[in-house]
Every structure is written in structure tokens, then in C-alpha cells.
């Protein structure tokens, strides 16, 4: 409730309220929205609707000056970078691909955790196929991460950019391997694929527009503090 007190009683920052009172939070629906809700609640912010059941893209909250915009997970950094949202939450996978420019990333929220992996058809001889000097076809939604990974191993790759269902690519001969996120491993198993290489541990970060942080400091800083406390309490 620190946040609510600041919002209403910190007269020192009244000029900020007069200048631009609205705070816009960019979230993707699904796991990030679900895992962010408890942290927002600790900061005293409660969305009025559930994006899974509502078709609205702008969701009001219990504060008339705070709203949530629902965007694709990979679009969250773009909304925050251009200031269309003051802050948002995005996976490290998305942030690496985006480049993170213009974004302040104060906290690893440790939510939506998973691993970026290389996976192949069960029985495919990946060790042999990925010797330095070899050439592999990789299907992925993450061309930047995949390119960096194989460059560091000295393996030549042809990257095939996909937007979803990467698991299909090796099954129909589109690629030798995929670079994708793995959480339980059930999707790989159901499609007779296996993970053969770990690239990175992934979790979601709070991202803040740098100008918003300066101009709306008294609104945003207490939220950052509350999120930090929530992460510390859960780890």
C-alpha cells in the first residue's frame, strides 16, 4: 500500500500528476499476466478484467490513472521503448532478440522461467552434425540467439525464421534442429524430439521506459520497490 499512499498524499510531486498522471503497463496475456497479478496486487494495483475472457486491449484498474495494455509478448519491449507504455514485463528471450535499447531493466522477476535449448529428432546424431566446420539448418523464432550460440561453437548455420510451432520443423525436414524454449519438456516429448544443448536460463524482467522513470519517478519507484520485495520474499 506504499504505492497508494504516495499516489494520493505526496504533494511534493503534484507537478508530475498535473503533467501526466496516467501510468500504462504493457503485459502479454497468459503466463506473464497470470504471474504478474500477485505482484501488482502487492503494489495495490488490481486490473478490472481478465484478458483471457475480455476482448479489450486496454484494461482499466482499481486506479483511474493506471491502465494495462495487452500486447503480444514480443511486442512488450517496443511499447515500452517508445513510451506508449511506461513499464512492462518481458521474457529475457524477447529482450535479447529486441536488443533492449532505451529500456531500464531493474529487476529479474524470476517468473515464467524456462530454458532456451537446441532440440532435434530423437535419434538424430547431433554431436556429429554439430562439429566445428559443419553446416546445420536451424528453425527458430529466435534468430539472434541461435546465430550467436552457433557462432560461439564455430558451427555454420542457416537460420530459418518461424513464428511458432518450431517443433514441427525437424519432423517434416524443414530443419535439422530447432532453438526454442523448454519448460516441462512435454511438447518435445509429444513430438519425438529431444533437447541436446542448453543455451540459456530464461525468466521475465521488469522493463521501464527511461524517460517515464524520470518524469513519473514518484509513481514508478514504489512499484519497483514492491516488486523487488516480492521477488526477495519468494526466493
**CA-to-CA distance for 161 and 139, rounded, in angstroms?**
6
Which CB, 43 or 111, lies closer to ligand PRT? 111
- If one asks whether residue 176 binds ligand PRT (CB under 6 A), the answer comes out as no
- If one asks whether residue 68 binds ligand PRT (CB under 6 A), the answer comes out as no
- Smallest distance, Å, CB 164 to ligand PRT? 5
Residue 168 burial by CB count (10 A; 0-12/13-18/19+): exposed, middle or buried? middle
Q: Please pick, from the candidates 25, 26, 112, 116, the single residue that binds ligand PRT as defined by CB under 6 A.
A: 112
Q: Is the dihedral of CA 100, 106, 111, 115 positive or negative?
A: positive
Instruction: Pick the piece of the chain touching ligand PRT (CB under 6 A) from 19-27, 61-69, 178-186, 209-217.
Output: 178-186
Answer for the pair 155, 197: CB distance below 8 angstroms, yes or no. Answer: no
**CA-to-CA distance for 181 and 72, rounded, in angstroms?**
17
- If one asks whether residue 30 binds ligand PRT (CB under 6 A), the answer comes out as yes
Which CB, 107 or 219, lies closer to ligand PRT? 107
Instruction: Pick the piece of the chain touching ligand PRT (CB under 6 A) from 42-50, 66-74, 169-177, 223-231.
Output: 66-74
Q: Which residues pair with 103 in a beta bridge?
A: 209
Q: Which residue is nearest to ligand PRT (CB)?
A: 91
Q: For ligand PRT, what does the binding mask look like between residues 186 and 205, x meaning CB under 6 A? A: xx--------------x-x-
- If one asks whether residue 32 binds ligand PRT (CB under 6 A), the answer comes out as yes
- If one asks whether residue 73 binds ligand PRT (CB under 6 A), the answer comes out as yes
Phi first, then psi, for residue 231 (nearest 5°) are -65, -45
- If one asks whether residue 71 binds ligand PRT (CB under 6 A), the answer comes out as no
Which CB, 44 or 91, lies closer to ligand PRT? 91
Which CB, 64 or 186, lies closer to ligand PRT? 186
- Smallest distance, Å, CB 21 to ligand PRT? 30
- If one asks whether residue 181 binds ligand PRT (CB under 6 A), the answer comes out as yes
Contacting positions for ligand PRT (CB under 6 A): 28, 30-32, 72-74, 91, 93-94, 112, 114, 164, 180-187, 202, 204
Amino acid at each position: 500500500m506504499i504505492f497508494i499512499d504516495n499516489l494520493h498524499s505526496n504533494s511534493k510531486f503534484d507537478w508530475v500528476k498535473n503533467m501526466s498522471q496516467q501510468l500504462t503497463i504493457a503485459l502479454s496475456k497468459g503466463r506473464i499476466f497470470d504471474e504478474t497479478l500477485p505482484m501488482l496486487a502487492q503494489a495495490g494495483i488490481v486490473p478490472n478484467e481478465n484478458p483471457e475472457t475480455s476482448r479489450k486491449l486496454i484494461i482499466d484498474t482499481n486506479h483511474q490513472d493506471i491502465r494495462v495494455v495487452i500486447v503480444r509478448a514480443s511486442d512488450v519491449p517496443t511499447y515500452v521503448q517508445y513510451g506508449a507504455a511506461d513499464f512492462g514485463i518481458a521474457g529475457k528471450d524477447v529482450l535479447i532478440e529486441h536488443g533492449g535499447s532505451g529500456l531500464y531493466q531493474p529487476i529479474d522477476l524470476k517468473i515464467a522461467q524456462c530454458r532456451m535449448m537446441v532440440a532435434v529428432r530423437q535419434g538424430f546424431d547431433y554431436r556429429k552434425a554439430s562439429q566445428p566446420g559443419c553446416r546445420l539448418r536451424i528453425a527458430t523464432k529466435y534468430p539472434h540467439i541461435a546465430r550467436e550460440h552457433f557462432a560461439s561453437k564455430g558451427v555454420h548455420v542457416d537460420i530459418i525464421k518461424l513464428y511458432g510451432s518450431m517443433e514441427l520443423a525437424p519432423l517434416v525436414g524443414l530443419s535439422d534442429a530447432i532453438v526454442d524454449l523448454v519448460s516441462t519438456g512435454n511438447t518435445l516429448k509429444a513430438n519425438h524430439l529431444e533437447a541436446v544443448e542448453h543455451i540459456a536460463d530464461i525468466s521475465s524482467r521488469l522493463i521501464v521506459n527511461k524517460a517515464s522513470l524520470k518524469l513519473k519517478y514518484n509513481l514508478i519507484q514504489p512499484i519497483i520497490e514492491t516488486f523487488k520485495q516480492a521477488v526477495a520474499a519468494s526466493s
